[in-house]
A and B are shown apart, each in its own frame.
Chain A
């Protein structure tokens, strides 16, 4: 029987880490993810995990130590946010190219500057091309579930890539909600042992990791890395299916909410999708055919599936809680429109909203603005503005 509990998103992630029982957790405090290593070091202090907790002197060293630990043959995990993730940048790429399936709990927060501790997605979106798999979570349950699946996905022999599990800072990381936890033994059986083929600590088969890799071979290695990311999609679906059988909780590449007969949809990541579901319900009660698509997997980007799904609608609003500062829309928008174009999906009108930067509260009335606009576009077929900012004084 699953365990019914109530806890914050941070505690849920820490509990998942406890149940995974990795060999090494190396982490450094930063709001709003600080609680994760705090909870975890308590588990270590109480002897309920076998993990070595490495209280590093920076996030750069946290990721560096994870690389050393994972290359050694252990399971390594960390947690961070915003500037902490930025300080890891250099090593994120090295972790991915070294094919080390490290798992990182990312509690999304605005990347400085200006300094701001509240939620948007500028931190993980900035790391989107670092070679990490990225999973996004609407609430504490999804954060917990995604984290339990992360090792299985990353460690799959066809993948061998690091995985980042993202949830919204404060909004879900600090909010206490009901959650269903798996029993420890079930997690242990699901996650399994980590026995990589190559490890530094195999004294009978010593290896070298992290070469100087020049023109003769580097490109092939990058190509293999790219293939691993392509392979990840299938593995994510397989692992999610197995998880569904275990828990009854279904996860795909993205969630569709009331889209069956929808004319218009918004595409929204993480906690704001929860707010949008409420608005969708209200609008549905008024007979308005609105729906929601909530991406779970941003890396690898589900090009075919998302383009096919969106082809059914008259108008789509892609919502970005991060700006690309390219004067041409946020990262989710450019990925989605590029996918649609590449796959020959030209039917729907697509607009972009950049919203909630620096933790600006996103209210139902904001989401209503989006759906009203979409319904108007669906009706008139006219788009007056593609790139938009929502809920900001201009």
Chain B
């Protein structure tokens, strides 16, 4: 059936309102859309790493999760959900469980690229039938916007402040989607909530219903950390994709597929200039910084085109 947002949005919400994430936050939009890809008859066990999503969605005695939910710690959602999946396999074998249960782990970029990287890698390598979703907002937002290895170069964060001598974060972003593709698991993708969110929905569906380990890296802008105008969330997602800062692609059994190629690739400064965290690089004399970011985006985009067999 062709994707239709109106139809999809009619499905009962599995992540309810009333949670405490900020207005204009990308993460809950991502979570809701991913959960819509579950078949209504399927149960889900959902895990979340410590971070904004978790502390805002399950504050005792309230939970925003209609499915079963587990939070363990910051760096171990991959392992925690893999353990639940292993119990499911064993209990199913013993005939103790009926019906289908799907396993989904959510981690922020800190809980995924950094401190939870080992548990993620282990869970994916072991091939548990689960999906790991990184909602990437490019910093440790929950603890007050500290840099992570997902933070873009030159971004101003509270542990990579733009100072008089050092202009923000000095390192380039880790390319985690590539690292996960190198795990040679059945399904890896990078996506964002753009347009009618078809890309996000269809990838979630594939990830959830592909047997074995799947990884989704999803852009999740944060108005506080990125300092953008709150209502502009969807515009930020769009700019990230149109500039090729955040390409939409998937790697299915090792085969790269680019899902969207902008006809008119926008300059990355269009994405940067609407964010306060890059304000300092727009000052006179700092043009080289923007050029450098542009060169990095171009380099990575071209490499991706090559991997997908599509020369630039």
**Proximity bits, B89-111, A CB within 8 Å = 1, else 0:** 11101100101010000000000
Nearest B residue to A193 via CB reads: B96
| Size category of the binding interface on chain A | 35 or more
Interface-side segment among B119-127, B154-162, B265-273, B278-286: B119-127
Contacts of B97 in A (CB 8 A): 201
Which residues of B are found within 8 Å of A91, using beta-carbon distances?
A: 72-73, 76
Tell me if B183 counts as interface (CB < 8 A to partner A). Answer: no
Partner-binding segment picked from B53-61, B192-200, B300-308:
B53-61
Pairwise interchain contact B118-A74, C-beta atoms closer than 8 A: no
Closest to B100 in A: A203
Segment 77-93 of B: residues with Cβ below 8 Å from A = 78-91, 93
What A residues does B47 contact at CB under 8 A? 68
* Docked complex Cα distance between A55 and B82 (Å): 11
Q: How many Å lie between the Cα of A332 and that of B93 in the bound state?
A: 44
B83 touching A76 by the CB < 8 A rule?
Answer: yes
Is B71 engaged at the interface, CB distance under 8 Å to the other chain?
Answer: yes
* B3-20 residues at the A interface, CB under 8 angstroms: none
- Report Cα–Cα, A216/B60, bound state, in Å: 9
Shortest CB–CB separation between residue A211 and chain B, in angstroms?
Answer: 4
Q: Which of A48-77 contact B (CB under 8 A)?
A: 50-52, 54-58, 60-62, 64-74, 76
| Residue in A71, A200, A213 with the greatest tally of chain B CB atoms within 10 Å | A200
Taking A64-B73, A207-B68 as contacts, is the C-beta distance between A26 and B45 under 8 angstroms?
Answer: no
**Which chain B residues lie closer than 8 Å to A287 at the CB level?**
none
CB distance from B278 to the nearest CB of A (A): 32
A94 interfacial by beta-carbon distance below 8 Å:
yes
Q: Which of A23, A65, A69, A201 contacts B101 (CB 8 A)?
A: A201
Are A54's CB and B126's CB within 8 A?
A: yes
* Given known A64-B73, A91-B73, contact A54–B86 (CB-CB < 8 A): yes
Q: A57-B121, A64-B73, A73-B91 are in contact. Are A203 and B43 (CB under 8 A)?
A: yes
> Are A56 and B84 closer than 8 Å at their CB atoms?
no
**Assuming the A-B contacts A23-B87, A52-B89, A217-B61, are A201 and B82 also in contact, with contact meaning beta carbons closer than 8 angstroms in the complex?**
no
C-alpha spacing A203/B68, complex, angstroms: 8
In contact, B101 and A203 (Cβ under 8 angstroms): yes
- Contact of B228 with A by CB under 8 A: no
| Residue B250, interface by CB 8 Å | no
Q: Please classify how large the interface on chain B is, using the bins under 10, 10 to 19, 20 to 34, 35 or more.
A: 35 or more
* Complexed CA–CA distance, A206 and B80 (Å): 17
Query: Contact between A60 and B75 (Cβ–Cβ < 8 Å)?
Result: yes
A389 to chain B, nearest CB (A): 37
Which residues of chain B are near A45, meaning CB under 8 Å? none
Asked if B296 CB lies within 8 Å of chain A CBs, one says: no
Does B87 contact A69, Cβ atoms closer than 8 Å?
yes
Interface status of B209 (Cβ within 8 A of chain A): no
Q: Mark A206-250, 1 if CB is under 8 A from B, else 0.
A: 111111111011100000000000000000000000000000000
* A305 contacts B by Cβ under 8 Å: no
- Bound-state CA distance A72–B76 (Å) is 16
The answer to whether B68 and A206 touch across the interface, beta carbons within 8 angstroms, is yes
A55 in contact with B72 (CB, 8 Å)? no
Q: Are A61 and B119 in contact (CB under 8 A)?
A: yes
Q: Are B118 and A65 in contact (CB under 8 A)?
A: no
Contact between A68 and B81 (Cβ–Cβ < 8 Å)? Answer: yes
Measured CA separation A56–B78 after assembly (Å) = 11
Among B66, B67, B71, B79, residue most surrounded by chain A Cβ atoms (within 10 Å)? B79
Question: What residues of chain A lie closer than 8 Å to B85, measured between beta carbons?
Answer: 68
Cβ-defined contact, A212 with B60, below 8 A: yes
| B234 partner residues in chain A, CB cutoff 8 A | none
Bound-state CA distance A81–B28 (Å) is 41
**Chain B residues near A64 (CB, 8 Å)?**
72-73, 76, 79-80, 83, 119
- Residue on B with the closest CB to A65? B83
Q: CB-CB contacts of B212-225 with A at 8 A, as 1s and 0s?
A: 00000000000000
**A61, A91, A209, A216 pick with most chain B CB within 10 angstroms:** A61
Please determine whether A72 and B87 come into contact, CB atoms closer than 8 angstroms: yes
Bound state CA distance, A57 and B116, in angstroms?
12
Task: Verify A69–B86 contact, CB threshold 8 A.
Answer: yes
Contact of A68 with B84 in the complex, beta carbons under 8 Å:
yes
Closest Cβ–Cβ distance, residue B129 to chain A (whole Å): 12
CB pair B60–A68 under 8 Å, yes or no, is: no
Chain A residues positioned under 8 Å from B84 (CB to CB): 68-69, 71-72, 200-201
Going nearest first, the 10 A-B pairs with the smallest beta carbon separation are: A68-B83, A65-B83, A74-B87, A57-B122, A203-B43, A61-B79, A64-B79, A64-B76, A210-B71, A211-B60
B residues in contact (CB < 8 Å) with A: 43, 45, 47, 54-55, 58-61, 63, 65-73, 75-76, 78-91, 93-94, 97, 99, 101, 118-119, 121-123, 125-126
26 sampled A-B residue pairs with Cβ under 8 A: A23-B87, A24-B87, A26-B79, A54-B86, A64-B80, A65-B86, A68-B70, A68-B80, A71-B84, A74-B87, A74-B90, A76-B83, A76-B87, A90-B73, A94-B72, A200-B45, A200-B70, A200-B84, A201-B97, A202-B68, A209-B71, A211-B71, A212-B54, A214-B60, A217-B60, A218-B60
Instruction: Give A residues with C-beta under 8 Å from B.
Output: 23-24, 26, 50-52, 54-58, 60-62, 64-74, 76, 90-91, 94, 200-203, 206-214, 216-218
